[in-house]
Amino acid sequence: MASDQNTILKEGGTMFISLHPFHENDPWHLPLLIVFFTASTGIWLYSFSRWKNLLVSIYCFYFEPSTDDACPPDLLQGKEPHVTVQICTYNEAHVVEETISRCCKLDWPLHKLSVQICDDSTEKESITIIENCVLRWREKGFAVSRHARPNRIGYKAGNLNHNFPFVEGEFVAYLDADHQITADFLRKTVPHFYDANGVSNDHIGLVQTPWSYYNTHENLLTECDALGLDIHHVVEQVGRHRAHGVFGFNGTGGVWRKEAIQAAGLFSSDTVTEDLLLSYKAYLAGYDFHYVRTAPQQLEVPGNFLAHIQQKQRWTKGFIQVLWIFYGEVLVSPNTPFQVKLEAFLHLCGPLQLIMTALVFMVYPYLVYHQIDSLMVKAVSVSAIVEPVASALHALTNKVPGENGYYNLWWSRLLRLTVILPYFALRFGMSAFEVKAVLEGFFSDDATFLTTPKAGLKNNICERTNARKIKVCPTDDLTAFAGLCLAFHQTIYVFALDGRLHGCGLFDIFIRAMNMIICIGLYWVNSSFLITKYCNHLETLCMSFSQQKQRAFGVVFIVGVNCFMVMTYSQLSDGLQNSTPHLSLTDLRDSSTPWACPAHAYATVKSPELLVVFGEPRTGSNLFFNILDGLQDGAGEQLDIRNMLEPYTHDEAEQVRLLRRCVNAMHEGCNLPVHIDGGDETWAYSTTQRFFARLKGESGSAWSLSYQKLMEVFNSRYKRQADWIKYISSIPSASEHSVVAFKIFREHLDELSMSPVQFIKSLGRAKSVPIILWRRSIIETFVSYKLAVQKNAWLLENTTEKDAIRIERLELELFIDEKRRYYESIRDGLAANGIDVDVVEYGRDLSNRGAQIKTIGRLQERLGVVGNVLAEQIIAKTILKKQAQVPLYQQVENWDEVMTWGYGKDAHDWEDIFVRA
């Protein structure tokens, strides 16, 4: 029977493959086993830390009830130290105003308190609100000030470092813009820097308070998010504090000793969790931390999925960044106990736990199907969920109510039990985004800090306005779709396969229930993200799913979607049982097949060679492409060079010129009807829209076959850049050897958000020959570029002494440095990836007739042109226009001054970056 499921059948000359997707011999069998046992091993290792923190926290709450947090109310009465409160904000005036007011109402001597708003705001409204608020409180006698800086270098870390010199006194409290502290905040934190006799404990570097949330009941998302944060504060922070005296600073709601921050080297902008890195640096510098679990301070949790995903991805990425860049110092620290090193490692690897747990439950149905079941497998699966459930119950039971009074009554805590399952669904639903953030943490050095927009205590900003302020990474869309595909796949797994098994034990039901929760979470999170981001008409409906009064409607929606999937794939499962699935190989389409022309046009066509010319303006690109045109004429039928100019240009006239070339190439290679005569200027419209309108009118039925596709790939060339190049290169040619040549300038790469190496790799399997154009006569390049910008024309044959410009040294040196870094990045990137490249330097290869003859010979050899191609004839046909009627020194007003800077004395102002072997 097994052999019948893995056979190749032939029917009428057509080949079919039949392979049961879950057969024991299928290629996924061993990889899935490895995934399961690797993930389960990771869970076991991490569970040591989780269980230890949970048990320590339980001991603290039940056997040391609040005694460790108690401070005599008059401990520092009359001897209060000076404290500075710094509020870090970025375009958050609607929430920071309340925070400023609460800081000014702190129970602390007025002359011993300074409130500083570290404002990076760029919105005029935010700046005005903050300045007015500061002015009101200053008029009342409070030491309140706003500190701004000219740029946002280093983001939040840079903001805090910039304002650290303004800290007054030996203690500084850090607050986020939405952190609504209570009046006794300093009375409950600062005394912990002293012993019972009022003597300073110099080894205490940080006192941290837990969080509460003023918008917990806003929707189901905020309920789940608040529960997750409560688990962090009640279990993890308390456990690490009591067991090791070290934990991660939460970035807000904490008071630091100024000397501890200095000893740690201030805040680092190399990671998006600068608070976490500062904690470990301060610990290695010899400081201990204290956690005041009975003094919660309220703030806001994200109220929509865009903000939630952005925030959680930032935290996950930051953890991995700290692990990657700093854990080595913790590991080799001679004064750090082994248990702290282990705890730090497991702490920083925390984001991996969710991924491993999801993998265990998602692979488990496969193991059951193949009867790969044992006590160990069951124990691993159960342990993966028992500790999180126990932690959630402990957090619900022992959460200290905040100022808003949530969960003061026992029945309110009991009702909160209903949030546990949605919380797990939310956490599992974040799996795809967590994986993306982990990969970015390991392989990306980007430390851009994206601030999460807040609505405020009074909720005076609508959700739609708030959502528009969120900067979502483009790859998040792909991640969301991947998450939906994963949910789709897992639904098939659970209901179409596992649902047909005979096992109905309690454990089987438990495993299926957990997989159901994973499916619901994946659908919920990823679909809500996409709907909130793209569907403006459904945005309000999406938000209303989680409103408290309409929560039932949201639950019905999610369950309904899953029931639909269950019924659909139950039918699919029955189909698998009653018939043998066959896949006809003749129906498969080759994804690499070009589609510029009808399929019959590609019967004997070979893939063209891509000549990718990287360069900058004023490096001889027009001259180089004129030489290519001349080489085309001299090579005859053995070589077809299609000069496609700048495929990503923003110049509409150049775009129309490029489209004309494409249409004519399709006329010759695809036998399509439209041909544009070179002398027909009626096609040279000012807009591409008019060009396509005329093309549609003259092409007839051919429009829907090919020209419409041309318009589609052209209009989406910045989103799907590889499709545009593939389309151009797919136009057939009758020549034995065809070459498609085009220019890629740095401005094009910036528009595409790609490096030269990434662009080359995006072309896929296409054979590409990168060529680099550059110019060592940097003064001539700079002057030529400045004149072109000044005259708004790239051909400068009419330039005279009257057009001379003045060169500023700083501008010139920045220009040189920018060019150098660009070309060095090209050189190093191509070399690191083993990509062969040809270099054409203007002064050496294009500036005179002899150099041009040698360059033609090199190109002829590189492109495989056989026979004698008369270089002199090519040069004679090449259009050469002088860039100026006067020498270079007459084009610069302060030429003598420039000479003193060390430039212009030689034709080559800098060394040869591309030294040939």
Among all residues, which ones are annotated catalytic?
Answer: 120, 275
Q: Give the count of alpha carbons within 13 A of 898, CB side only.
A: 25
Dist CA 653 CA 687 (whole Å): 7
Instruction: Give φ, ψ of 175 to 5 degrees.
Output: -130, 145
Look-up: residue for tokens 């979502």?
A: 472
Q: State how beta strands 838-841 and 768-774 pair.
A: parallel
* Residue keyed to tokens 């004679």: 876
Backbone angles phi, psi at 744, to 5 degrees: -130, 110
Place of tokens 């809500």: 528
Distance CA 351, CA 305 (A): 19
Secondary structure class of 748 (helix, strand, coil): helix
Give yes or no for a contact between 451 and 302, defined as CB atoms under 8 angstroms apart. Answer: no
Instruction: Please name which of 355, 523, 518 lies closest in space to residue 439, comparing C-alpha atoms.
Output: 355
Residue count of the chain, please give it: 917
Please choose, from the candidates 779, 794, 809, the residue with its C-alpha nearest in 3D space to the C-alpha of residue 745: 794
d(C-alpha 754, C-alpha 735), whole Å: 32
Helices 220-231/305-332 angle, 10° precision: 10
State the alpha helices, DSSP H only, in 492-601: 506-534, 536-544, 551-578
Under 8 Å between Cβ of 249 and 208? yes
Q: Which two tokens stand for residue 221?
A: 């998302």
Rounded-to-integer distance, Cα 280 and Cα 838, Å: 48
CB 423 within 8 Å of CB 392: yes
Whether 670 contacts 600, CB under 8 Å? no
| CA distance linking residue 450 with residue 330, whole number of Å | 28
- Report the distance separating Cα 139 and Cα 482, nearest Å: 55
Closest CA to 133 of 150, 145, 121: 145
